[in-house]
Structure 1
Amino acid sequence: MEYKYNLAKLQYDKEKIEELITRQTRRVGEIFPKKLEQQFWSLNLQRARHNISQYFWMGVLTYFVLTVLIIPGDYWIIQKEHFSHDFIKCLLGLVNGALCLLTLYAFSRYNILKAYFAHASMFIVFWAVLSMTWLTMTVYTEALKHQAMMIICMIYILGYILTGVKPIHMLMVGMLAAVITMLMLFSMYVQFDAMVMGRVLMGSCVMGFAVSKMLCARERMIYLNMLRADISEKIHRIHTTELLHLSQHDELTKISNRRTLDEMLDTFYEQSKQNNTALAVLFIDVDHFKNYNDFYGHQKGDEVISTIAKTIKNAIRHMDFVARYGGEEFVVLLPETDAHGAYAVASNIYKAIDRLEIPHAKSQVSNHVTISLGITVYRAENMTKDELLNIADQALYRAKQLGRNQIYYQSIRAINVA
């Protein structure tokens, strides 16, 4: 059965996820299969874009507060003889930082740019390291140059944490930015301590890489646990659905059982009563089925019951309902159907069973399997649904009395008049 195949596949997938969880607890690294690895990083980028987009205004407020704190501080720190030059570069640095963050937000927010978010993130980090280092290291005030160390470190850390880009890719970008920055400073004859600057650039890059690897290991565990929980939920849903199906359907015939018939009869009965529409009920019985079972055996008898159930289901309309009432008896409910319509459906069922020509040597009415049908139609008469079903049963009984292998219609009004 399809549900068993789906269940087995989900169980297998769950075992593989649990194996990955065990392996993940032992080491940090890319231990996922290729497809799962791609899904993880795709989800990681999606989460990064979502976070940047969602918390943009908080970031704007934070940047504004930092700007308010930094500008007065720089105003008092800058040496008077270099005030104009250094203060302009400080302002340019703040504007440059704001533009970098706005660009990152644009690539996270707008659908046309989202596909390029990872590449844009790496370029923004590269540009931020290069440009901010140049702006802070080309001032004349020594105290401002010391800020470059902190700014570079922040750029690297934020680049690793905010962008959702693979740490190894950001490491390569960071190292390239560090090398080009050092070459740029040397080529421009900027006065700086090469050893200290090298340590800041390389150290910040490596530290950001280490931090991001640890965070990614944590995210991997969260992702695996999320997958396991999702699979467990699907397994639970399949079990629940199957249990519900078993409780509502007859195991042999795969059509609805008597319990479901009671529920559907209650629904159709109330609809007919409220809307003043007709509800036809068909009671069906296989003629001389006990004789068939005694002669051919119960296994053959089960096959006949299953075949007849399938045939009845195929002969009725999509709006109709069929259930196995018990043994060789079936009930069909025909909503919004008058006596003529009910008789037409009953005829279709009768002819469909007759065309099967299932041999029945012990039948007293035919040489093959036949059925008897009783029909009644409810039109909001003053009676209960159990009484309605009983009248349909009486119609079936009358069909049997008249010799079986036929259709008999019992009018509710005729009974009421009588």
Structure 2
Amino acid sequence: MEYKYNLAKLQDQKEKIEALIAGQSQKIRRVFPQPLEDEFWSKNMERARKHAERYVWAGVLSYFVLMLTIIPTDYWILEDQYFVHDFTLCLLGIINGGLTLLIFYFFATLPKLRPYFHSASLVLMFWVLVTTSCLTMSILTPAMKLQAMAIVSIIYVLGYILTGVKPLQMLVTGVLAAIASVASLIWIEIDFGPVVFMRILVGSSILGFVISHMIFARERMIFLYSARAKISEQIHRIHNTELLHLSQQDELTKISNRRTFDEMLNVYFSQAKRDNSSLAVLFIDVDFFKNYNDFYGHQKGDDVISSIAVTIKNAIRHMDFVARYGGEEFVVLLPETDANGAYAVATNIFKAIERLMIPHEKSTVSQYVTISLGLTVYRGEQDISKEALLGIADQALYKAKILGRNQIYYQNLTADEFDKLYNL
């Protein structure tokens, strides 16, 4: 069955996820299959983009507060002979950082730029590292150069956290930015300790790499737990759906059971009463079924019941409803169907059963399995209950049996018939 196939498939997926959880808890490196790895990084990148979009104003406020702190303190730190030169470079660094964040925000939010968010993150990271290094290391005040190294280290770490880019890609970008920064400073002949500065740049890049790896290891576990929870929910939903299906279905015939019929009768009856429309009820009984069971055995009897159920279901319209009422008895509801239409459907069922040509040696009316049908039509009468309607349809089936079985009997739903049936 399809639900069993889907269930087995989900169970297999869940076992694989659980194996990955066990493997991830023992290793820091990637243990995902490539499709899952791609899905993880795609979701991680999208999450970083949404965070940039959602928290942009908090970032702007934080950057503004930071500038209010840095600018006045620069006034006290900068040496008098270098003040104009160094303060100008500090302002350029601040403006450069603000513009970089603004461009980063545009790539995170604008629909036309979103597809390039990943590439833009790497390019902007490279740009801000090189420009910040060159601007800050060009400052002549010695104390400010120490501050510049700290700022560059912070940029490295924030780049790993904010962009959602793979740590290895960011590491390569960071190392290339370090090399480009040192080369640029040498080219513009800035006096600095290249070995010390290179160590700081590469060290910051490696530190950011390690920190981001630790963060993403946690994110991997969250991703796996989320995937497992989603699969568990799907399994639970399939179980619930199947339980509901089984509670509404007759186990032998795979059509609706008596309980579901009662629910559907309430719906159809209320609709017919409200709209003053027709509702036909058709009762079907297998002729001499006890004799068939006694002679051929219960297994053959079950096969006959199943075959008749399928035949009835195939013989009615898509708008009709069929259920196993009990034993060898079936009931069909025909909404918006008058007497002529109901008789036509009944005839269609009757002939379909005939065409099965199931041998029945113990029948006194035919050499094959036959059925008796009784039907009546409700036309929205206000003085008749659904229980009375079923009683009259059942009485029609009884009359079909009394008259010799293997036939269709229609009983009109008149006040006289209603009174006779219930001795009123």
Q: Same fold (TM over 0.5)?
A: yes
Alignment of 1:18-417 (within 5 A): 18-381=18-381, 382-413=383-414, 414-416=416-418
Letter in 1 for 2:244: L
Query: Which stretch of structure 1 is more off in the superposition, 106-115 or 169-178?
Result: 106-115
Contact 2:315 2:345 in 1 (8 A): yes
Give the gaps of 5 or more residues in structure 2. Answer: none
Superposed CA offset, 1:336-361 (max 9, x none)? 22212211211221122222222222
Letter paired with 1:25: S
Q: Supply the distance in 2 between the matched residues of 1:325 and 1:351 (Cα, whole angstroms).
A: 21
> Can you list the C-alpha shifts for 1:367-411, whole angstroms capped at 9, x where unaligned?
222211111112233232222111111111111111111111112
Counterpart amino acid of residue 72 in structure 1: P
- Report the equivalent of 1:15: 15
How far apart, CA to CA, are the structure 1 residues paired with 2:401 and 2:269?
26
Secondary structure of the equivalent of 1:27?
A: coil
Give 3-state SS (helix, strand or coil) of 2:332's partner. strand
- Cα deviation digits, residues 281-324 of structure 1 (max 9, x gap): 11011112222222222222211111111111111111111100
Report Cα offsets for 1:187-212 as digits up to 9, x if no partner: 22111122331222011101100100
Is the partner of 1:365 in helix, strand or coil? coil
Alpha-carbon distance in structure 2 between the residues aligned to 1:396 and 1:47: 66
Q: Is the 8 A contact 2:361 2:368 kept in 1?
A: yes
Question: Quick one: which amino acid aligns to residue 395 of structure 1?
Answer: A
Q: Distance in 2 between matches of 1:109 and 1:60?
A: 15
Distance, in Å, in 2 between the alignment partners of 1:196 and 1:417 is 108
Q: Secondary structure at the match of 2:87?
A: helix
Deviation at 1:78, TM superposition (A): 3.1
Asked if the contact 2:78/2:144 (under 8 Å) is kept, the reply is yes
Q: Contact (CA 8 Å) 2:321, 2:334: kept in 1 or not?
A: yes
In the alignment, the residues of structure 1 paired with residue 191 and residue 341 of structure 2 have an alpha-carbon distance, to the nearest angstrom, of 99
Q: 2: distance between equivalents of 1:96 and 1:383?
A: 84
Distance 1:176 1:247 in 2: 66
**Secondary structure of the residue that 1:283 maps to in structure 2?**
strand
What's the CA shift string for 1:83-116, capped at 9, x where partnerless? Answer: 3332222222112111211222222212332222
**1:246 Cα deviation from its structure 2 partner:** 0.8
- Which stretch shows the higher mean deviation, 236-245 or 348-357? 348-357
Using the TM superposition, give the Cα deviation of residue 81 of structure 1 relative to its aligned residue in structure 2, in angstroms: 3.7
- The CA deviation at 1:417 is 6.0
In 1, the alpha carbon distance for the partners of 2:12 and 2:107 equals 39
Aligned mates of 1:330, 1:356 — CA distance in 2: 17
Deviation, structure 1 residue 144: 2.6
Amino acid at match of 1:155: I
Question: How far apart in 2 are the matches of 1:92 and 1:407?
Answer: 96
Would you say how many aligned residue pairs link Structure 1 and Structure 2? 418
Provide runs of 4+ in structure 1 moved above 4 Å: none
Shift in Å, 1:216: 0.7
Q: Which amino acid aligns with 1:388?
A: L
Please identify, of 333-342 and 43-52, the stretch whose mean Cα deviation from structure 2 is larger. 333-342
The one-letter code sitting in structure 2 at the alignment partner of 1:22 is: A
Secondary structure of the residue aligned to 1:111 is coil
> So what's the TM-score if we normalise by structure 1?
0.96
Q: Distance in 2 between matches of 1:259 and 1:250?
A: 10
- Distance in 2 of aligned mates of 1:106 and 1:364: 86
**Alpha-carbon distance in structure 2 between the residues aligned to 1:59 and 1:352:** 75
Q: Which moved more, 1:344-353 or 1:49-58?
A: 344-353
CA offset digits 1:241-292 (Å, max 9, x no partner):
1111111101111000001111111111122222222211110111122222
Q: Secondary structure, in 3 states, of the residue corresponding to 2:280?
A: strand
The one-letter amino acid paired with 1:410 is Q
| Distance (Å, rounded) in 1 between the aligned partners of 2:57 and 2:108 | 14
1:162-213 per-residue CA deviation (whole Å, 9 max, x = no partner) reads 1111111111111111111111112221111223312220111011001001
With 244-253 and 189-198 compared, the bigger mean Cα shift is at: 189-198
Letter of the structure 1 residue corresponding to residue 164 of structure 2: G
CA–CA separation in structure 2 for the residues paired with 1:104 and 1:259: 61
| CA RMSD after TM alignment | 1.5
Unpaired stretches in structure 1, ≥5 consecutive residues: none
- TM-score (norm: length of structure 2): 0.95
Q: Distance in 1 between matches of 2:304 and 2:108?
A: 64
SS at match of 2:113: helix
Q: Larger deviation: 49-58 or 266-275?
A: 266-275
